Amino acid sequence: MSEKLPKLIESLAKRARTASLSLAKASTADKNDALQKIAEVLESNRKLLAEENQKDLDAALENGLSEAMIDRLRLTHKRIDGMAKGLRELIELPDPVGDILEQRNRPNGLRIKKVRTPIGVIGIIFESRPNVTVDCAGLCLKSGNASILRGGKEAFHSNQALAQIVQDALQISNLPEDAVQLVPTVDRQALNHLLTLDEYIHCIIPRGGEGLIRFVSQNSQIPVIKHYKGVCNLFVEEEADLANAVDIAVSSKCGRPGVCNAIENLIISSKIAGEFLPLCAKELIARGCELRVDKEAAAILGDFTTVPAKEEDYAEEFLDLKIAVKVVNSIDEAIAFVNRFGSGHSESILTQNKTKADQFLKEVDASSVYWNASTRYTDGFEFGLGAEIGISTDRLHARGPMGLEELCTYKYNIVGTGQWK
Amino acid sequence: MSEKLPKLIESLAKRARTASLSLAKASTADKNDALQKIAEVLESNRKLLAEENQKDLDAALENGLSEAMIDRLRLTHKRIDGMAKGLRELIELPDPVGDILEQRNRPNGLRIKKVRTPIGVIGIIFESRPNVTVDCAGLCLKSGNASILRGGKEAFHSNQALAQIVQDALQISNLPEDAVQLVPTVDRQALNHLLTLDEYIHCIIPRGGEGLIRFVSQNSQIPVIKHYKGVCNLFVEEEADLANAVDIAVSSKCGRPGVCNAIENLIISSKIAGEFLPLCAKELIARGCELRVDKEAAAILGDFTTVPAKEEDYAEEFLDLKIAVKVVNSIDEAIAFVNRFGSGHSESILTQNKTKADQFLKEVDASSVYWNASTRYTDGFEFGLGAEIGISTDRLHARGPMGLEELCTYKYNIVGTGQWK
């Protein structure tokens, strides 16, 4: 690595830290005004964006990237509109900074308030979707955090153009320009260096595939909040409404198979597997879904085309029209299966039995545990929390949808009258 | 490393994970009963403890450990009483598990509850104080977490005996015996291996000196919550009550200089430095405190014995009767100094001016920010939060005193009536 690179990265991180101290005290009006300006500058720079995006698209074609990858890269008018709309939605959301979370008056006269504050500097490491640049910058700004963005090499020119737009807008706002910065290189060693700067950067959020998330977790000295894979399970218990269960199973697998809150495993009570499985398999297969089944399910589904499930199938996030099927003899077995193979994202039980539902809700160890609903509702907007930076599959700090409040920490403010001990 | 060691560590971590799933659903009564039993078994095994502790003390003498280190190692009757008392105090504290943190009913009929749950498995890495074994095991049990304890080599025999006592008590309780486990070796490579097991262990809390905390942070794949050094600042603003300021400065430095919430830096407004500094220096020096002063303070304190301050003195946790002194010309300069040199632990402003106090409370970036009180109140009991596992100087998950609630995470429970999309 050139000697200049670590210096450049360090200077960028230091400037972000300085900016974060101003941002932490910025008014809601100033933050909303900056978000509005970013939306406007974005909308008035479509031509520049199209040109820079075209460079990435040309390179992608040249390098033989898949059509799915190229689609993610593309900054269409609709996507630009979407980014601007997202920024304007953030303006409408309440400012989380300064909320009083708890208040205590102590016998010695100290008055203690727990106050919500920004985290400080947040590093976002992402892959090829350039819209992440603007979405994350907006979320960090509204929650009073400075952000350092490091995008993938495929979207390099698009990200540079988007970051420039954000900085142009910040320059005509009352917020510091350094509040949002893009790492101006996709050099891996620059990323490695960034991940050591825990003096200036307080939280790293990787957004992307398993490989990226693992790389970041293993190389970061800075706390990482992972938005990892979604291996979600649906358990159809023996007292489920079977017609509704077919609808939920089919929609939560086939509705959008590529999203993290889609189900990957279907668990069925042996008491109703004989009745339920053929009904459900018929609908899944009609939608092009492959079934990977255990022996019990295979015996029931003799007339259908299925594939034998291997154990590792149950831990896989297919992100595709594939589903692994498991027959169980008890709710305890179902819960143990979910806690073993699930990724701690979203899990659901379908049953009319409240006692069993309560057991599942209590004992399943995941961010979002459902009774009689599809796992597809795990989402900041669906939960009424507003825009989110991702769905945390970690347990510390944020679990599940990570929105503006979860992009904050807190501090204690203690007011006395001269107390000492 | 022998091939057996990684297997041993992995098996221990797996058993802790299994135990954590039972512990998460344990009743408050069962947890309190186990705490009571640990206290009783502890009190009835004083002889065994004394014998095992003596082995550590003999080795410490042989290895020429300092008197302070040997004192920390010693399991006196008073310390055993203290551990038992701590466990009984935990029984009185409310069980944090199951608390409903938020509740939302959505337009589509989904009813969403955010419920407090245990984190899972917590690894505590500590140095030579054997009482940490019981204190941490108790806090983790009450908050529904399994714990893996790894103590320092100096207290090896004492820790083994204490862990055996905890396990004996668990065996006659309704909680799983594997809920508390001690790593049965002080091999560094075993620790290194432990720190990679993020599949089974969810949080690492290092308790000890800077070296230990840095080692753990740099080698852990598991999220770490640091209880780092306390470089606390006291700012005597020009509108402070000077007599009270002397009391607070002297007590928060000299009361217990070895604790993390003692002050290390004294910042004084240049407007009152001429009057305040001689008054304060006289009292500090009378208590044996060394003053490391900047040029402005040196000029004022010509008649006193002082040492010139180097820049690095302002970032040092002396843990001793030493204080660094800095004269500033404005509150902005004071805040910038605190945000630069403080360790994010506890900071205080003394002033009768509310506007300036509010600015300090808002702009200082630390876990606990005081107005007109000593920093020495940063403590779980003083804050009314009860027993704590430490004072977090991190920003994610827990900041400041980390008690039972901060040893928990949350999950969303979502109840529907068959919704899908």
| Min distance A5 CA to chain B CA atoms (Å) | 22
The chain B residue lying nearest A369, using CA atoms, is B413
Q: Are A200 and A17 in contact (CB under 8 A)?
A: yes
DSSP character at residue A397: S
Average pLDDT over residues A85-91: 96
Q: How far apart are CA B394 and CA B412, in angstroms?
A: 25
Residue B125, helix vs strand vs coil? strand
The chain B residue lying nearest A357, using CA atoms, is B415
The chain B residue lying nearest A419, using CA atoms, is B373
Q: Which fold has domain B232-378?
A: Aldehyde Dehydrogenase; Chain A, domain 2 (3.40.309)
The chain A residue lying nearest B241, using CA atoms, is A418
Alpha-carbon separation of residue B306 from B297, B315, B323 (angstroms): 9, 18, 10
Half-sphere exposure for A364 (CA within 13 Å, toward CB): 34
* pLDDT tens-digit map of A100-112: 999 999 999 999 9
Alpha-carbon torsion, ordered B348, B351, B354, B358, to 10 deg: -20
Give me the residue from B373, B378, B420 closest to A252, CB to CB.
Answer: B420
Q: How far apart are CA A39 and CA A60, in angstroms?
A: 27
Q: Which of B114, B115, B110 is nearest to B415 (CA)?
A: B110
* pLDDT tens-digit map of A326-366: 999 999 999 999 999 999 999 999 999 999 999 999 999 99
Question: Given an 8 Å threshold on Cβ–Cβ distance, is A376 in contact with B420?
Answer: yes
Residues 30-89, chain B: which have Cβ within 8 Å of A? none
A232-377: CATH class = alpha beta
Outline which parts of chain A fall under CATH 3.40.605.10: 4-228
Indicate if the pLDDT at residue A1 is higher than 70. Answer: no
A383 touches B at CB < 8 Å: yes
Question: Given an 8 Å threshold on Cβ–Cβ distance, is A413 in contact with B369?
Answer: yes
Outline which parts of chain B fall under CATH 3.40.605.10: 4-228+399-415
- To which H or E segment does residue A346 belong? strand A346-350
DSSP character at residue B107: T
Q: What is the CATH number of domain A4-228?
A: 3.40.605.10
Domain B4-228+399-415 CATH (choose: 3.40.50.300, 3.40.605.10, 3.40.800.20, 3.40.640.10): 3.40.605.10
Residue A268, helix vs strand vs coil? strand
* pLDDT tens-digit map of A21-60: 999 999 999 999 999 999 999 999 999 999 999 999 999 9
A2/B303: higher pLDDT: B303
What are B67's strand-pairing partners? none
Mean pLDDT value across chain B:
96
Question: Given an 8 Å threshold on Cβ–Cβ distance, is B384 in contact with A248?
Answer: no
Residue B115, helix vs strand vs coil? strand
pLDDT confidence band for A403 (50 / 70 / 90): very high
Question: Given an 8 Å threshold on Cβ–Cβ distance, is A248 in contact with B202?
Answer: no
A304 touches B at CB < 8 Å: no
- Predicted-complex ipTM score: 0.95
Alpha-carbon torsion, ordered B306, B307, B313, B319, to 10 deg: -60
Residues 243-282, chain B: which have Cβ within 8 Å of A? 244, 247-248, 251-252, 255
The predicted pLDDT at position B1 comes to 52
Outline which parts of chain B fall under CATH 3.40.309.10: 232-378
Residues 95-154, chain B: which have Cβ within 8 Å of A? 104, 106, 110, 112, 117, 119-120
Q: Which of B45, B73, B77 is nearest to B166 (CA)?
A: B45
Q: How far apart are CA B228 and CA B207, in angstroms?
A: 8
Average pLDDT over residues B79-90: 96
Q: Are B83 and B42 in contact (CB under 8 A)?
A: yes
Contacts of A367 in chain B (CB under 8 A): 411-412
A373 touches B at CB < 8 Å: yes
Interface contacts A/B by beta carbons within 8 Å: 195
* pLDDT tens-digit map of B339-398: 999 999 999 999 999 999 999 999 999 999 999 999 999 999 999 999 999 999 999 999
Residue A21, helix vs strand vs coil? helix
Q: How far apart are CA A394 and CA A409, in angstroms?
A: 16
Q: Which of B254, B249, B305, B252 is nearest to B272 (CA)?
A: B249
Q: How far apart are CA A216 and CA A195, in angstroms?
A: 8
Q: Are B266 and B277 in contact (CB under 8 A)?
A: no
pLDDT confidence band for B128 (50 / 70 / 90): confident
User: Model-level pTM?
Assistant: 0.95
Give φ, ψ of B154 to 5 degrees.
Answer: -65, -30
Half-sphere exposure for B69 (CA within 13 Å, toward CB): 19
Q: Are A117 and A58 in contact (CB under 8 A)?
A: no
Give me the residue from B376, B383, B396 closest to A104, CB to CB.
Answer: B383
pLDDT confidence band for B175 (50 / 70 / 90): very high
Outline which parts of chain A fall under CATH 3.40.309.10: 232-377
Residue B400, helix vs strand vs coil? strand
Average pLDDT over residues B157-168: 96
Strands A232-236 and A290-293: unpaired
pLDDT confidence band for B2 (50 / 70 / 90): low
